[in-house]
Amino acid sequence: MTETAPDLDRLRGGAAPRNHDARTIAALTSNPGCARRGVMDAAGVDKDLVARELGFPAPFGQSQFAITRGNAFEAQVKADGCAELLTLLRERLGLDVPEVAYDDLEVVAGNEGRELRHSRTRRLIARALETGEGTLFDHPLLRLDIAGRPAYLEPDVIAFQLAGRLHVIEIKSFAVVDGQAEPEQVAAAARQSAVYVLALRRLVAELGHDPARVSHEVFLVCPENFSNRPTATPLDVRPQLAVLERQLARMTRIDDILAELPGDLSFEPGDRLAESVGAVEARYAPECMSGCELALFCREEARACGSTGALGRSVRDDLGGVDTVETALALANGSLVPSDDLAETAEHLRVAARLRAEALEGAA
């Protein structure tokens, strides 16, 4: 139990914590400067519920049909101790995969408790690393430190050992047609898989082994040509791993953020919910719309206060410490004298304003 645990429990208002998954961690690291998301995710707050209570439901989500289809495809691939998957790896990818033992870690002796499942995952992976046996693990429960707080991952992945290295297999229900899949879906799968690889590498390091024993090559399993027949494709996630590690290192520690917040702050649904959410600084950018449940609320908030973040992350970064559009316009037209640290930014804004005026005059 960490020192901040009671504060994080209070933030949830008595509700059970929501667990991280690879998607939420990948989305979180895409905007490490957002204190609002960092605090809510560290506390396990149900952001989807908060967004609905605020009147700004999340603009994205997977349909029930897609979830059902995905579950059915996964069950097919994993049936009979992953017999179809092993055949696929041998025949499709030409891997010399020996007969392997199969361990399902989703439930331990009828218990779904996270600590028990994580402990068994550690024990079995430690044994596999010591013996070199080609053991196959289904639903290993991993743990990853997020801004000073441990987050449990319940990945829908399989890790197996081949030639002394552990690999991650990601099963997705989107189709591969004529050898090609939707680039955005593949990119999202790569980011999520990188989270699993990093968590597995850190577990291997904790067990006293070389993290490189977890391969950066992930095997992506998808339906082929809209059929139920699976196909497997190797996926190199080294670029995603580099970004993930860099962003996690940059994230502000949660206890530092909590120290600046009111002692009675809570995200429990009620009349003060909007006030409580607004008390934690956000770092909105249009990119948030594809990955954060609170994006619509934060966008409205950014527009109301004239935040430069509403114009895009690249614009906000180019403007440096200029937080509002009103300040940017004042610096551009010379009605506001810049401080020393904004002198260069103000000069760039004045040049941009002059070029815009000349372009408009020429067009007229």
**What are the structural domain ranges in the chain?**
64-245
DSSP letter at 213 equals G
Percentage of the chain modeled with pLDDT above 90: 24
Strand 136-138 with 102-104, pairing: parallel
Mean pLDDT of 200-204: 95
Rounded CA-CA distance 349/93 in Å is 55
CB-based contact 37:277 (threshold 8 Å) = no
pLDDT score of 202? 95
152: Cβ contacts below 8 Å, ≥ 6 apart: 19, 20, 114, 118, 141, 142, 143
pLDDT score of 149? 73
pLDDT score of 62? 64
For residue 12, what are its two tokens? 């949830």
Rounded CA-CA distance 31/34 in Å is 6
Mean pLDDT of 292-313: 83
CB-based contact 125:204 (threshold 8 Å) = yes
Q: Is 357 exposed, middle or buried (0-12, 13-18, 19+ CB in 10 A)?
A: exposed
Residue with tokens 């939707």, as numbered in its chain: 182
Rounded CA-CA distance 57/295 in Å is 9
Question: Cα(first)–Cα(last) distance of the chain, in Å?
Answer: 67
Mean pLDDT of 304-317: 72
Residues linked to residue 142 through DSSP beta bridges, in sequence order = 153
Choose the weakest-confidence range: 257-271, 277-291, 326-340.
Answer: 326-340
**Average pLDDT across the chain, whole number:** 83
Query: Which of 220, 221, 212 has its CA nearest to residue 241?
Result: 212
Percentage of the chain modeled with pLDDT above 70: 91
CB-based contact 234:217 (threshold 8 Å) = yes
Class (C level, CATH) for 64-245: alpha beta
Q: Does the structure show a pLDDT above 80 at 29?
A: no
Rounded CA-CA distance 93/22 in Å is 26
Query: Which of 227, 254, 240, 258 has its CA nearest to residue 198?
Result: 240
pLDDT score of 305? 79
Rounded CA-CA distance 302/278 in Å is 11
Choose the weakest-confidence range: 56-70, 183-197, 305-319.
Answer: 305-319
Q: Does the structure show a pLDDT above 50 at 1?
A: no
Strand 165-171 with 217-223, pairing: parallel
Choose the weakest-confidence range: 98-112, 335-349, 350-364.
Answer: 98-112
Q: Does the structure show a pLDDT above 80 at 216?
A: yes
pLDDT score of 329? 82
**Three-class DSSP category at 246:** helix
pLDDT score of 309? 67
DSSP letter at 309 equals G
Rounded CA-CA distance 81/83 in Å is 6
Most confident of the ranges 108-117, 207-216, 228-237, 260-269: 207-216
For residue 298, what are its two tokens? 């934060």
pLDDT score of 354? 85
Residue 18: count of CB within 10 angstroms of its CB: 17
Rounded CA-CA distance 361/364 in Å is 5
Q: Which tens digit of pLDDT belongs to each residue from 34-86?
A: 889 888 888 889 999 999 999 999 876 666 777 888 889 998 998 888 888 88
Q: Does the structure show a pLDDT above 90 at 340?
A: no
Q: Which tens digit of pLDDT belongs to each residue from 229-264?
A: 899 889 999 999 998 888 887 767 777 888 888 888
Mean pLDDT of 14-24: 79
Rounded CA-CA distance 157/194 in Å is 12
